[in-house]
Amino acid sequence: MSDPSSNRQAATLFPDTPEIEERIHGLHDLIAGRTILITGAAGFVGRYLIDALVRTNAALNEPARLVAYDNMITAGKAGAAVADLPGIEFVNADVTQPIAWDGPLDVVIHAAGIASPQHYRAHPLATLDSAIRGSRRMLELAGEHGARLAFFSSSEIYGDPDPAHVPTRETYRGNVACLGPRACYDESKRVGETLCYIFHHTHGVHTNIIRPFNVYGPGMQEADYRVLPNFASRAKAGRPVSIYGGGIHTRTYCYVSDAIVGFLLVALKGVAGEPYNIGNPTPEVSTLELRERCERALGRPLPYELVAYPDSYPADEPTRRCPDIGKAREQLGYEPVVSFDDGLRRFFTWTEAHYAGES
């Protein structure tokens, strides 16, 4: 239980962490005394989740036990720092392999995955395995201990949506190819969701599915290869950014503090068996417009060149991506509050201080 008179506060890795705790009603009581396993803990989302939980724990008389798994396949140097955080038990573990678990377990937040297109193009089988074999192992573990499990799926399970289904609701079945360079990611996340469905309906496990839509913010690795770290690295180096495919594809972007609030709401309060879109539905911008907004946020010119997709980038990029978040809003009280321009300013303030300008 929390101690309201406590002024204890943990130092945080990221500038936005303190506001996450304040925005989740009852977070202290939801985690006090629980054992929480976070997989993919050294990744962008995993580190942020842990940072928020470590900070919340510092104010609790009965802190949660936080166990963090990652096999470091894409974690990089920044990710390795998670192992040294006080207040967590870090294990270099591959979620596709058998796991010896000691003690009780209450919550599994399964964020391990290979998320960046360049990485999953390079590691298609590891991508497939982490979402399918890894999810099955985590669901079995949750089942054995009566824990609830939140699986990080992706908005990519919708594929290239029919424009009539944009903004996209959780009920849309998707327009996805099982053959092609993106299939290892999209299709394995879909199977991961099916596994959640089976374990919920036939084994009684409390499962939730999180479908994130393009999260960005401080903490993204410079060599992450997703669009905003690419832009930030080039901006730092004073080099033009490369825009692929004419820059006409549109996306919405969700600032990391908004996303982490949504992820924790689903993981701790989600209705059993339900999937939730987590993202920011506005504004939906093309890559060309994204560059203009980045230029404004940086306060200096950000030149660009239009280039063909590199070979390392998977073809068939979806045309549009925009969430309908009505379900998370109604069932969980989820509401993103950071405007896109403010989020970009916060992101570039952080990257200008932390990136080397080398990607």
Ligand X SMILES: NC(=O)c1ccc[n+]([C@@H]2O[C@H](COP(=O)([O-])OP(=O)(O)OC[C@H]3O[C@@H](n4cnc5c(N)ncnc54)[C@H](O)[C@@H]3O)[C@@H](O)[C@H]2O)c1
Give residues in contact with ligand X (CB under 6 A). 39-40, 42-46, 69-75, 79, 94-96, 111-116, 130, 134, 152, 154-155, 212, 214-215
Shortest distance, position 153 Cβ to ligand X, whole Å: 7
Question: Among residues 56 and 96, whose Cβ is nearest to ligand X?
Answer: 96
Question: Among residues 60 and 126, whose Cβ is nearest to ligand X?
Answer: 126
Q: Is 185 a catalytic residue?
A: yes
Shortest distance, position 14 Cβ to ligand X, whole Å: 13
Shortest distance, position 110 Cβ to ligand X, whole Å: 8
Report the distance separating Cα 259 and Cα 79, nearest Å. 19
Question: Among residues 64 and 266, whose Cβ is nearest to ligand X?
Answer: 266
Is there a contact between 112 and 72 (Cβ–Cβ < 8 Å)? no
CA 162, 263, 279, 123 torsion-angle sign: negative
Question: Among residues 157 and 298, whose Cβ is nearest to ligand X?
Answer: 157
Least Cα distance to 55 among 35, 79, 85 occurs for 85
Which residue number is nearest to ligand X in terms of Cβ? 43
* Residue whose token pair is 């374990």: 199
Shortest distance, position 70 Cβ to ligand X, whole Å: 4
Question: Among residues 60 and 223, whose Cβ is nearest to ligand X?
Answer: 223
Shortest distance, position 211 Cβ to ligand X, whole Å: 7
Report the distance separating Cα 270 and Cα 252, nearest Å. 23
Report the distance separating Cα 357 and Cα 313, nearest Å. 21
Report the distance separating Cα 318 and Cα 172, nearest Å. 15
Q: At what angle do helices 124-131 and 133-145 cross, to 10 degrees?
A: 20
Question: Among residues 59 and 111, whose Cβ is nearest to ligand X?
Answer: 111
Shortest distance, position 154 Cβ to ligand X, whole Å: 4
Task: Indicate which residue of 185, 225, 276, 334 is catalytic.
Answer: 185
Give the type of residue at 249: H
Q: Which residues contact 327 (CB under 8 A, 6 or more apart)?
A: 169, 170, 274, 276, 277
Question: Among residues 69 and 231, whose Cβ is nearest to ligand X?
Answer: 69
Shortest distance, position 221 Cβ to ligand X, whole Å: 7
Question: Among residues 74 and 287, whose Cβ is nearest to ligand X?
Answer: 74
Shortest distance, position 229 Cβ to ligand X, whole Å: 10
> Which residue numbers are catalytic?
185
